[in-house]
């Protein structure tokens, strides 16, 4: 099956700093990517998506960067807040979605 991996399983940042969460994907044919946020005991929530014809997309305090050359996806969170503490995982879509294992983000007040 597909392999969607994250470079770091955990990330701790100071409140107010920027966070960067990385994701490597394996299928060069994947053309749609989503970042999800999952708080403890809850279902994943959509954060932001990007299609393969773009290399950057911005939302409110979040930016997703796509580097198709090296099959790498990143999520940048600006001015990280305590409410951002959660597990973040990426998903790639080729003929179905494949989900990464996630990075646990902890925001230190």
Partner 1 sequence: DGGITQSPKYLFRKEGQNVTLSCEQNLNHDAMYWYRQDPGQGLRLIYYSQIVNDFQKGDIAEGYSVSREKKESFPLTVTSAQKNPTAFYLCASSMLGGRDGYTFGSGTRLTVV
Q: What are the residues binding partner 1 (CB under 8 A)?
A: 1, 4, 9, 32, 34, 36, 41-46, 49, 89, 91, 93, 96-102
Nearer to partner 1, 34 or 107 (CB): 34
Which of these, 52, 64, 58, lies nearest to 88 by C-alpha position?
Answer: 64
For partner 1, give the closer residue by CB, 79 or 102. 102
Shortest separation between residue 55's beta carbon and partner 1, angstroms: 19
Q: Smallest distance, Å, CB 87 to partner 1?
A: 10
Q: Compare residues 64 and 80 and give the one whose CB is closer to partner 1.
A: 64
Q: How far apart are CA 106 and CA 101, in angstroms?
A: 16
CB of 52 to partner 1, least distance (A): 12
Spell out a b/e string for 7-32, using b for 16 or more CB atoms within 10 Å of the CB, else e.
eeeebebeeeeebebbbbbebeebee
Of residues 81, 77, 76, 99, the one with CA closest to residue 89: 99
Kindly state the smallest distance separating residue 99's Cβ from partner 1, in Å. 4
């Amino acid at each position: 099956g597909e392999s969607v991996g994250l470079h770091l399983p955990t990330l701790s940042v100071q409140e107010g700093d920027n966070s960067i969460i990385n994701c490597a994907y394996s299928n060069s044919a994947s053309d749609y990517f989503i970042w999800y946020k999952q708080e403890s005991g809850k279902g994943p929530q959509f954060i932001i998506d990007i299609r393969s014809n773009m290399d950057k997309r911005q939302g409110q305090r979040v930016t997703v960067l796509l580097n198709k050359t090296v099959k790498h996806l990143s999520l940048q969170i600006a001015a990280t807040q305590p409410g951002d503490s959660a597990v973040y995982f990426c998903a790639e879509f080729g003929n179905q979605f494949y989900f990464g294992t996630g990075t646990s983000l902890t925001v230190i007040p």
